[in-house]
Amino acid sequence: MASANVVVLALVAAFGSVFMTSPAGAMEKLLDIGVVTARSGPLAAAGKFQLNGFQLAVDKLNAGGGVKIGSDAYQVALKVYDTHCNAAEGASAMQRLLSVDHVPVVLGELCSPTAAAEAAVASDYSVPLILTVPTAPDLTKQGNTFLFRVNADTDQLSKALAAYVGEHHWSPLSFIAWNNDAGRGGVNGMKAMLPKDIAIGYVGYFDVGAVDFSSDVTNIRKSASRAVMLLMDEEPGALAIRQIRDAGLDIQLVGTLAMGSARFLKRLDAKYLDGMVQYSAFPPSAPVPRIEEFAKAYRARFGEEAHGFAAQSYDALLLAVKAIQAAGTASDGAAIRKALSGASYDGVIGHIQFDGNNQAHPPVYVTQWCANGTRKIDFPADLKSSCGTG
């Protein structure tokens, strides 16, 4: 199915300038934006949220008449490749996007190792790659001037959560994490940022596909931990939480943004989540106008609650197009990179401005599940809210 979609997109790109016309009948060109993400495999659900965000941004631009670059009018289209979160496939997709499709910018990716492989190709071709989900801090610390990231990295997310754990003095603190760069990096980053008086209990790692967390539950109980941090996505997160609670282990649950959505609630009864906290880049029910507007548009388009990955991706595409317009070119990657470096943009996730490493610093929240299956914002202090607004 993915390959068929690629063929369709290629045909659209090849013939779009022939068939695309404005309401007045004037010929319009297509502005192809490259996208790399997982459309199949275990992370396909996360990839769907990314694509939803990109598509919503494209819809907004085209509904407003497309974009003007110099004297030319363009409709925006996505050129999407499935990387399966595989580094070799990601590099190959980037190679094709830049050498065959000649896109002016590429966005997306889910997995940090895949993003690293893609970033090297972006640098070789002098075309910007804008990440919207990967969180490994080192990605933007390698001196690659063509790599940008709009979402918070693990260090930024961990800093907020570490302060929150310290404030509540959840000690000892245990961990169950992916046995990969993201999981181990998350554990090490959190350990480095926790206040000195927070002791570390049990630390366990699991491989993709693991379904039995009983030994982890036993070891957490033996450690007498007051809280356990689950560095994983939705599917293993739901399994681990269910097994922790069914074993009668009364412990504070601390999760990731993957565990703070209505989609996640569908995997578990609300009783399993009551009191759990998680960091969030986008609390979809927050009483903030920019978030409310996006959440409404997302639900109208896709029939479900908005997701942080979608919001980050939506902002990234709109920012990329603004940079292309500011550069006045849809072909000069170096000029677009320069425009991105100086960009200042108020998006759905907050203010986006890149530092010297091309890393943005959007707001980070901590939300908490309530007994009735809604959420509330508990951090930052000025946005603390009641149940139903997180």
What CATH number belongs to 2-152+290-352?
Answer: 3.40.50.2300
Q: How far apart are CA 272 and CA 167, in angstroms?
A: 24
| C-beta neighbour count of 54 within 10 angstroms | 26
pLDDT band at 6 (very low <50, low <70, confident <90, very high): very low
Contacts of 195 (CB under 8 A, 6+ apart): 162, 166
Contact 90, 114 (CB under 8 A): yes
pLDDT for position 233 = 87
Residues 6+ apart with CB under 8 A from 366: 160, 161, 164, 277, 278, 279, 280, 377, 378, 379
pLDDT tens column, 80-96: 999 999 999 999 999 99
Instruction: Please report which residue ranges of 172-226 form alpha helices under DSSP H.
Output: 181-193, 214-223
What one-letter code names the amino acid at 133?
A: V
Question: Where in the sequence of the chain do the CATH 3.40.50.2300 domains occur?
Answer: 2-152+290-352, 155-280+365-383
155-280+365-383: CATH number? 3.40.50.2300
Q: What is the pLDDT of residue 3?
A: 42
pLDDT above 90 for 19? no
Give the tens place of pLDDT for each residue, 156-176: 988 889 999 999 999 999 999
For the record, the structure tokens of 310 come out as 């979608």
Phi-psi region of 328 (alpha: psi -120 to 50; beta: other; left: phi over 0): left
Beta-ladder partners of 31? 76
- The answer for residues whose C-beta is within 8 angstroms of residue 108's C-beta and 6 or more apart is 35, 36, 37, 50, 54, 131, 132, 133, 313
The pLDDT score that the predictor gives to residue 389 is 87
pTM of the model: 0.86
State percent of the chain over pLDDT 90: 80
- pLDDT tens digits, residue range 308-365? 999 999 999 999 999 999 999 999 999 999 999 999 999 999 999 999 999 999 999 9
Is the link from the previous residue into 380 a cis peptide, with omega within 30 of 0?
yes
- Residue 145 is encoded by which pair of tokens? 């001037």
